Amino acid sequence: MYTLRSGTATPPPSPRPSRRRLDWLDNLRIALTVLVVLHHAAQPYGPADWWYVEGRPHNQALATLSAIDGAFFMSLFFFVSAVFVPGSYDRRGVRRFLGGRLSRLGIPVVVGALTIVPGLMYAYYVHYRGYPAIPFTRYFTDVYLGLGDTPSDWTGPSWPDLQFGHLWFVQNLLAYSVLYAVCRQAGRLLGKRGGGVRSAGPVPGHRALLLLTAVIAAATFLVRLRYPLDTWIPVLDFLQVEPARLPQYAAFFVLGVLAYRYDWLERFDVRTGWWWLSGGVAGVLVLFVTGTDAGHFGPGGADGPSALWAACESALCVALCVGLLTLFREAVTGRSRLSAELAASSYGVYIVHLPLVVTVQYYLADRGLSATGAWLTAAGAALPSAFLLAAGLRRLPLVHRVL
């Protein structure tokens, strides 16, 4: 369970944050985790993106749902995760903070990249690439790790198959945490103190949020001139990054840090939040009614449709992030034994859910289900299974220190 504490140069005992504050953030994390599973369950049935399962029926509403999810939910994940970073650093100091981050974030990335992801990519290799079947051990060394020769007719999506899959978020969060520690250390060397919660200063209002939307939209458009949506690049041959959404992710991580420092989560004006939630919901309804997704505007480029989608996506991102934070703070504050268990397992669910989702999607292939029926079946089967598996794993010796 998370704890938040304030600190100053000569800190007095810090008051413990209200239980309510932690409860609604935990409830929001549960909701976002569920949305991740629903999003991945819809991938082969809606958007035209690459996925582990091909040739399935498609539904435009699921493509729109995927575009809406992609516009905001990982940005909100970065924000919520960043809220707890400064307090952890203040309590532990730089060495213990980085050690904890490397353990909790680095170990799942490495283990997942050597177990979960190669299993998924091997299934894709066997089913869709058209090459002669090979044992998993040979695939792992020759194709996944790239120790063999590159086939002349290689179909991708990249060579070698080594990637981090859905663990990119954990990997990027680790990189952001390291950058945060570097900035704090640089500030200390410059004589600047960055610890503690400060309940003074302005709270973002409509003007600041509109400016934030404009800046993110402009940066997104410029980045997508070179890196369209769903283009992933390796940074330092290790970090898996999608530049097209980097302005959103980086901005909301920074905002999460600032929200902790200036106590924005408690001080943010509820009326402002309701207005932005209303705007976000209206935008969602418009997209569903018109059946619009990113495919109608193109993944990026120096043209009007790309600029329009960058603006729409950025506005939706800010509106839904601000609105959902307000909604959960004001209305979803309850706590029960079940919600506490779900919150404790949510990180593990993010790690382990994808092979469960993809397994069900393979099972449903050629069963005659509609796209919506297959999506609901995959989500309905994988969601409780993932929570049960995560709950069991985090009770194992040593594993509980990570999950």
Cβ(44)–Cβ(56) below 8 Å: yes
**Is residue 292, in this structure, part of any structural domain at all?**
yes
E-assigned strand segments in 162-292? 233-235, 239-241
Per DSSP, 227 falls in state S
**Is residue 15, in this structure, part of any structural domain at all?**
no
| Strand, coil or helix: 241 | strand
Q: Identity (one letter) of the amino acid at 135? A: P
> Which pLDDT score is estimated for 292?
83
Interaxial angle between packed helices 60-83 and 371-393, expressed in degrees from 0 to 180 and rounded to the nearest 10: 20
**What is d(CA 143, CA 141) in angstroms, rounded to the nearest whole number?**
6
**What is d(CA 257, CA 120) in angstroms, rounded to the nearest whole number?**
35
**Is residue 14, in this structure, part of any structural domain at all?**
no
**Is residue 295, in this structure, part of any structural domain at all?**
yes
Rg value, the chain, Cα: 22
If one counts the domains in the chain, the total is 1
Largest interatomic CA distance in the chain: 68
> Which pLDDT score is estimated for 390?
95
**Is residue 377, in this structure, part of any structural domain at all?**
yes
Name the token pair of 50.
């690459």
Give the 3-state secondary structure of 139-168: HHHHHHCCCCCCCCCCCCCCCCCCCCHHHH
**What is d(CA 132, CA 127) in angstroms, rounded to the nearest whole number?**
10
Task: Encode pLDDT of 216-260 as tens digits.
Answer: 999 999 999 999 988 888 888 788 999 999 999 999 999 999 999
Structural domain that includes position 360? 25-401
**Is residue 5, in this structure, part of any structural domain at all?**
no
**What is d(CA 79, CA 372) in angstroms, rounded to the nearest whole number?**
31
- Of 113, 89, 243, nearest to 171 by C-alpha is 113
Triad 342, 261, 34: Cα angle to 5°:
20
Cβ(209)–Cβ(322) below 8 Å: yes
**Is residue 29, in this structure, part of any structural domain at all?**
yes
Task: Give the residues of the chain that fall short of pLDDT 70.
Answer: 1-21, 192-200
**Is residue 364, in this structure, part of any structural domain at all?**
yes
> Which pLDDT score is estimated for 331?
94
CA dihedral sign, ordered 52, 244, 106, 160? positive
**What is d(CA 215, CA 251) in angstroms, rounded to the nearest whole number?**
10
CA dihedral sign, ordered 348, 55, 227, 116? positive
Helices first, then strands: H and E counts in the chain: 14, 2
